[in-house]
């Protein structure tokens, strides 16, 4: 949880101590998996499938589809704001850590940001597993007291008069931010609009790309 942990997560380990610490955990997890397999509590093939699901199927591209559809289809947007769980299920996304969804809409007057100060609650079906920074102490501590400072860490500045609304996910309700559709995208297709939606814009720590930044 500390800055020190970024080293654990990084790809480069500069000194032996950290290297051996990592290996110890690696060995501990391997041993645990073999104990649980030997005892017949887990099937390694099921573990492989679980990992594959979270690495390949469940990720922010799902949320991108939800947002792009909401931007281009007013009736869908209305259903999404009224019953997000059902509207998201229309696109075939549902389940673990997204059982009770609420979508919160950014406007020129109000910017929304989502956090879980107590652990790492995050809407998996639409955004996947949370990034390290979302689970880290710096974000969890300051998102509720100094969200403008947190936004500066993401190089985002909002007008002083824009209200900031922070949603602390302390129960099983999961929040997805519906960012504002960028100006200059009139007549764009849903597929074109999808190019502008970023993961962070759906958490509230970022803004969508501008049309000039589209790939």
- CA pair distance 90, 70, nearest whole angstrom: 12
Residue among 19, 20, 49, 73 that touches another protein (CB under 8 A) = 49
- CA pair distance 25, 100, nearest whole angstrom: 34
Piece of 40-48, 63-71, 72-80, 178-186 that binds another protein (CB under 8 A): 40-48
- CA pair distance 17, 191, nearest whole angstrom: 48
Radius of gyration of the chain (CA): 20
86 near another protein, judged by CB under 8 A: no
Q: If DSSP codes are grouped into helix, strand and coil, which group holds residue 186?
A: coil
Residues known to be catalytic: 116, 119-121
Residue among 31, 82, 86, 191 that touches another protein (CB under 8 A) = 31
Q: Which residue has the tokens 């403008």?
A: 148
Smallest gap, in angstroms, from Cβ of residue 82 to another protein? 13
CB closer to another protein, 131 vs 211: 131
Piece of 62-70, 72-80, 133-141, 186-194 that binds another protein (CB under 8 A): 133-141
- CA pair distance 7, 194, nearest whole angstrom: 33
Residue among 81, 144, 180, 214 that touches another protein (CB under 8 A) = 144
CB closer to another protein, 173 vs 180: 173
139 near another protein, judged by CB under 8 A: yes
Residues 163-202 close enough to bind another protein by CB under 8 A: 163-173, 200
Query: Cβ distance 208 to 183 under 8 Å?
Result: no
Query: Cβ distance 121 to 174 under 8 Å?
Result: yes
Residue among 105, 162, 185, 190 that touches another protein (CB under 8 A) = 162
Region label for 40, one of left (φ > 0), alpha (ψ between -120 and 50) or beta (otherwise)? left
Piece of 61-69, 75-83, 116-124, 181-189 that binds another protein (CB under 8 A): 116-124
CB closer to another protein, 102 vs 180: 102
Cα–chain-centroid distance for residue 78? 22
Piece of 67-75, 76-84, 113-121, 188-196 that binds another protein (CB under 8 A): 113-121
Spatial CA neighbour of 181 closest among 126, 75, 123, 107: 107
């Amino acid at each position: 949880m500390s800055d020190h942990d970024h080293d654990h997560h990084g790809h480069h380990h500069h000194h032996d101590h950290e290297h051996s610490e990592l290996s110890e955990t690696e060995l501990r997890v391997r041993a645990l998996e073999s104990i649980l397999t030997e005892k017949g509590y887990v099937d390694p093939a099921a573990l492989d499938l679980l990992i594959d699901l979270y690495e390949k199927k469940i990720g922010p591209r799902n949320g991108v589809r939800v947002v792009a559809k909401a931007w281009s289809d007013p009736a869908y947007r209305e259903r999404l704001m009224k019953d997000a769980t059902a509207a998201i299920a229309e696109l075939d996304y549902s389940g673990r850590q997204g059982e009770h969804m609420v979508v919160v809409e950014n406007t020129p007057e109000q910017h929304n940001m989502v956090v879980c100060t107590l652990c790492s609650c995050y809407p998996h079906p639409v955004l996947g597993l949370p990034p390290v920074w979302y689970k880290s102490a710096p974000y969890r501590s300051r998102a509720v007291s100094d969200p403008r400072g947190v936004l500066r860490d993401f190089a985002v500045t909002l007008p002083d008069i824009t209200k900031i609304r922070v949603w602390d996910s302390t129960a099983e309700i999961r929040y997805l931010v519906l960012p504002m559709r960028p100006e200059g995208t009139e007549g764009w297709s849903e597929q074109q609009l999808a190019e502008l939606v970023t993961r962070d814009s759906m958490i509230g720590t970022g803004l969508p790309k501008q049309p000039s930044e589209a790939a």
